[in-house]
Structure 1
Amino acid sequence: MRNFIYSRRKLLLNLYSNNFSTSAIKTQNVQQATTGATKRICIVGAGPAGFYAAQYLLKQLSDCAVDIVEKLPVPFGLVRFGVAPDHPEVKNVINTFTKTAENPRLRFFGNVTLGTDVTLQELRDRYHAVLLTYGADQDRELQLANEEQPRIISARKFVAWYNGLPGAEQLQPDLSGRDVTVVGQGNVAVDVARMLLSPLDSLKLTDTTDYALEALASSKVERVHLVGRRGPLQAAFTIKELREMLKLPNVDTCWRPEDFTGIADQLDKLQRPRKRLTELMLKSLGEQSNRKGTPSIGKQFLPVFLRAPKAINQNEMEFAITELKNNAAVATEATERLPANLILRSIGYKSSCADAAINFDAQRGHVCNLQGRVLKDNSSKSVEPGLYVAGWLGTGPTGVILTTMNGAFAVAKTICDDIAAKSFDTDALKPGFEPANKSVVTWSGWNRIDQYERAVGKAKGKPREKIVTIQEMLRIAGV
């Protein structure tokens, strides 16, 4: 069966490659933006921040042309590679982004890497303004001995693995053990826990990659610990994600009653979102008490609070028991060990410096900026005229897509305000990006990839089957 699917996919690939081999830059199929556009703006990064900023700029500046330069051959960033496959409704923003991309004053250049294929200075020479939005592609580490073991991987890489990010197919997480410990209690941590515990039949209806489905089908994981430094009132996951966990079939959610001592007494002091989340946890805890003595129905989801990572041992992880002081977790001398055949680290992302010319804070992992304007240096607080940053690259990895949208709109407005105030020259003619001999994927090339993925997915009863290698993407795009 597997050989049949592979053969069918190869046939489709050859058909698409033969039909579209003359597309993209090689035949100068990219049209210049609308004649009369005098202000050229380049956005580096085709994720949510980049598209929302482009949407705002095109609407507010009738005489601007926007080019989006993206490292991957495909657009949408974390919407494509970060959103959980069983959350298709979150991916609906792609429809909005597509409308923006189809604006005649916007061009998409996929498979172009800042710092390798083009430098920041080259972009600044070719555009009136440059907006950096290439996101956060690195992980924060636990800073513990033995952290480089193959059985300790980041939740970011695990998410990329089941979402089909090119290169992630090589991850091969070991799911042969009973226990997985996830360090962190944000929504990404809950996402990976849910993927590990969800029924395979439900995942088969999503765009989870085939190789991930195959690995999950043979998974021996039965228990997932979700461990956080602070208490229930500081949990970073949201009520939607918790509800989904509580509704998973054949999965028991097992709280520790001692973690909730005195929590009910504080409900009236909480703001509404936190109060609703806490009430749901307390309700689930009460239902758990009513089930006491009843055998487990199958797999287990085990949230653990007030524990800080201390050491990584063979098939287990040691945590320091913490106490809350001024809302901060302070480690005590007491410790606890949890079983951990596989450890998923989910304690945050950070960005990388794509080009040496960027004023980048390596310790904090983001571009140094003042309300989206990139700083020349950190002492004088003077800004680089015409250079901006938005999204996680500028703020650090915080918030959800709505947060990113509001932030991108705000920075795009700043660009508009600076143009109106003549903070930098927009009178000189700028040529925009010229790909030369680089294999570039245009928007029409992406449409071919999109159509191919949907066709292969439809044959399997899925919304799409993602292409997971850049080489295959380029072939289908006709590059």
Structure 2
Amino acid sequence: MSLPLRIAVVGAGPAGIYAADILTKKDDQLTVDIFDRLPTPYGLIRYGVAPDHPRIKQIIVALHRVMENERITFHGNVHVGQDVKVDELRQFYDAIIFATGAERDRDMQIPGEHLARSYGAADFVAFYDSHPDREQTWDLRDQKSVAVIGVGNVGLDVARILARTGDELLYTEIPPHVHRVLADSTITDVHMFARRGPAQAKFTPVELREMDHSPNVQCLVVPEGMEFDQASQQALADSKSLRMVVDVLSEWAMRDEKPGPHRRIHLHFLENPVEVLGDEATGVTGLRTERQELTGDGTVRGTGEMTDWDVQAVYRAVGYRSEPIDDLPFDTARLVLPNVEGRVLDLDGAVLPGVYATGWIKRGPVGLIGHTKSDAAQTVAHLLADEPTLARAPQRDRAAVRELLVSKGLPVTDFDGWDRLDAHERTLGEPDARERMKVSSRAEMTAIAGARG
């Protein structure tokens, strides 16, 4: 009889946890260790979802049930590829699944995009979600109008957070330093720019409607961009969800701007940003866009008509990218691990035995969280099919890997530690009747997680 599989999963977000769940359900003998460079699990749900999205954050309840499985072990504060090499893990595991996601911004490759006050959306998301490894200072003062490039779900989140007042978010998990920045904001207008038309929008009806829920924010659509060609009409006929999106946008396009001390979100379709205006001394002073026209097949082309918009900051929400993992090949064009249906390939295109990928590091940052489960199922199916050919790791004691990590001086956290941190954050939120208040310091999180009662 062959030895029960020992599997490592690198990345404790939904992709990695779904893979661990499917593995333990498919094989009642194997064990899984999940590694994450952060001291906490849940990845994108904790550090990529806007704080005013409690419905999405409830996915953590289901993920928590998976992590409680006694055959799944969590090792936090471990950066695979740096703190521990991939080859070192191969001494303990028969296969490794990489689920490290995508949390950095893609470049737009337009002039001026790296001027001061031109931000990647991922950086702003990391700020308002209090990511412990990212910038935790921000300045929204001395700005009246700002631009958000891109109208996907991330762009909507960024625009909504920029437009809402700090006090509106006091019911959420944001810590005091995030509240202070939002409370000090002088922004009155957020302009969102989409290169294509409304029928090519990628956001969901729920995400769109949530933009308009604040009594302090009015959403407006510039009517000139509400154009539809033959491909647009066909897309609307094929998708009820898209029809719902366009119905909302059409309603907003007919609105009159209401007076009052509130903020406005303006959606501009068929406007392609071609340059961030400004200079090294002053930073962003504007955004230049080129008017687009629909071609009939769902694509657009430039008209040569340029418009300069008076904005004092730009937020680029044009997509995320994954980062290379030390000791593994990387597809620099697609920005993923090279793979075929989750089996990772070497630089010559041959399958790397025992190395797999799932989630955004496998297929790029597309799709909703729910798509990650079927993606993990595909990868796991291939891994289990490969079981007869997998070389068994020499070290099979489940405690041995923890001993290695401790010997390296790593402040490793475990899942019991997450429960302690979770309880602490909930206690912080109680005085203000909040579900929790997030701790943002890695050192503080690690200390709380490591504390014993």
Q: Same fold (TM over 0.5)?
A: yes
Amino acid at match of 2:267: P
Could you say if the C-alpha distance between residues 429 and 438 of structure 1 is closer, same or farther in structure 2, counting changes exceeding 3 Å? closer
Moved more, 85-94 or 270-279: 270-279
Task: Give a deviation string over 1:63-93, Cα, whole Å, max 9, x none.
Answer: 1010001101111001001111111111112
1:440 aligns with 2:405: no
Moved more, 234-243 or 431-440: 431-440
Amino acid at match of 1:311: E
Moved more, 243-252 or 166-175: 166-175
Moved more, 172-181 or 202-211: 172-181
Could you say if the C-alpha distance between residues 47 and 140 of structure 1 is closer, same or farther in structure 2, counting changes exceeding 3 Å? same
The Cα shift of 1:191 comes to: 0.6
Could you say if the C-alpha distance between residues 454 and 295 of structure 1 is closer, same or farther in structure 2, counting changes exceeding 3 Å? closer
Question: 2:335 corresponds to which residue?
Answer: 365
The Cα shift of 1:428 comes to: 5.8
Question: 2:248 corresponds to which residue?
Answer: 280
Amino acid at match of 2:340: L
1:394 is aligned, of 354, 362, 380, to 362
Question: 1:239 corresponds to which residue?
Answer: 205
Task: Give a deviation string over 1:46-67, Cα, whole Å, max 9, x none.
Answer: 0010000011111111110100
1:269 aligns with 2:241: no
CA distance in 2, matches of 1:441, 1:81: 18
Q: Mapping of 1:63-462 within 5 angstroms? A: 63-262=29-228, 266=233, 269-286=237-254, 288=255, 291=256, 295=259, 298-314=262-278, 315-325=285-295, 326-355=297-326, 357-378=327-348, 381-419=349-387, 422-426=388-392, 430-431=396-397, 433=401, 434-435=404-405, 436=407, 437-462=409-434
CA distance in 1, matches of 2:220, 2:361: 37
CA distance in 2, matches of 1:221, 1:349: 25
CA contact (8 A) 2:34 2:74 kept: yes
CA distance in 2, matches of 1:132, 1:88: 27
Could you say if the C-alpha distance between residues 352 and 169 of structure 1 is closer, same or farther in structure 2, counting changes exceeding 3 Å? closer
Could you say if the C-alpha distance between residues 45 and 345 of structure 1 is closer, same or farther in structure 2, counting changes exceeding 3 Å? same
| TM-score under structure 1 length normalisation | 0.86
Amino acid at match of 2:434: K
CA distance in 2, matches of 1:262, 1:56: 43
The Cα shift of 1:197 comes to: 1.7
The Cα shift of 1:37 comes to: 7.3
CA distance in 2, matches of 1:43, 1:297: 50
Question: 1:4 corresponds to which residue?
Answer: none
Structure 1: gaps spanning 5 or more residues: 1-35
Could you say if the C-alpha distance between residues 263 and 329 of structure 1 is closer, same or farther in structure 2, counting changes exceeding 3 Å? closer
Structure 2: gaps spanning 5 or more residues: 279-284
Identity %: 34
Question: 1:15 corresponds to which residue?
Answer: none
The Cα shift of 1:252 comes to: 2.1
Could you say if the C-alpha distance between residues 261 and 308 of structure 1 is closer, same or farther in structure 2, counting changes exceeding 3 Å? closer
CA contact (8 A) 1:167 1:468 kept: no
Could you say if the C-alpha distance between residues 473 and 295 of structure 1 is closer, same or farther in structure 2, counting changes exceeding 3 Å? closer
RMSD: 2.1
Could you say if the C-alpha distance between residues 206 and 135 of structure 1 is closer, same or farther in structure 2, counting changes exceeding 3 Å? same
CA distance in 1, matches of 2:11, 2:112: 34
CA contact (8 A) 2:91 2:395 kept: no
The Cα shift of 1:245 comes to: 1.4
